[in-house]
Structure 1
Amino acid sequence: MVRTVPPNEEARSVFERLGYAVSGDGPEFVAERKWRSVRVRTLCAEDAARPGALDAEYGLECLVTWTDCVDELDDHLSEQSPDGEWAIIGVDDEGEYEVHRAA
């Protein structure tokens, strides 16, 4: 199944359950806890194929995508080799998640 809508609400839920304060709306937000601030972006694998889509603007970046898109997203990340520290989290329809690539 091809997913064209990124997992926005699922991503927010993951970070809130981990104790982060979440600010911002839509497919991009900031999650903060203690001294750590992470820019979180939700996307589908085809979103990552766009030129410049993975440019880092923050010290810590986290991409959240559907579980079935993780491998393709990881391939795009490896090809583009953006600066910064990165993590990829895959989520499913029930909100369960798994970190697939850590910074």
Structure 2
Amino acid sequence: MATVTTPLAEKAEAIFTDLGYVVERDGRELRAQRKWRVVNVTPVDEPATPRESGDFHCLVTWHEKAPEVRDRLQRRDPDYEWAVIGIEENGEYEVCHAPDANVSA
């Protein structure tokens, strides 16, 4: 995977914290937990190869890279629920879910 910049990881952590998740860092990855749901969060500067397995996964990237990351995930068609968060420099963000995903926060 691509190298992660600290601001991107910090913004990802802030988003999940604001959504009510308890966030722990595990190296480059983040682990966000709320109630029964655990989301593996990977901040990436460039499109990355998706994980092979898992239950819930979120790739967090810069807004302009989000469509490319989403397209890569769609082509890979992983067997887990996923989302891509595209973050702008000002902290605004957009969430792109997997097609037909029934996702609740």
TM-score range, shorter chain: 0.7 to 0.9
The number of equivalent residue pairs is 95
How far did 1:44 drift? 2.3
Q: TM-score, normalised on structure 1?
A: 0.80
Q: Which runs of 5+ in 2 are unaligned?
A: none
Partner of 2:30 in structure 1? Answer: 29
Partner of 2:81 in structure 1? Answer: 85
Matched, 1:43 2:44: yes
**Aligned-residue RMSD, C-alpha:** 1.8
Partner of 2:90 in structure 1? Answer: 94
Query: Structure 1's 10 and 26: CA in aligned 2 closer, same or farther, altered over 3 A?
Result: farther
How far did 1:80 drift? 1.5
Q: Is the 8 A contact 2:53 2:78 kept in 1?
A: no
Partner AA of 1:64 in structure 2: V
Misfit runs of 4+, over 3 Å: none
Q: TM-score, normalised on structure 2?
A: 0.79
How far did 1:27 drift? 2.9
Partner of 1:13 in structure 2? Answer: 14
Q: Which runs of 5+ in 1 are unaligned?
A: none
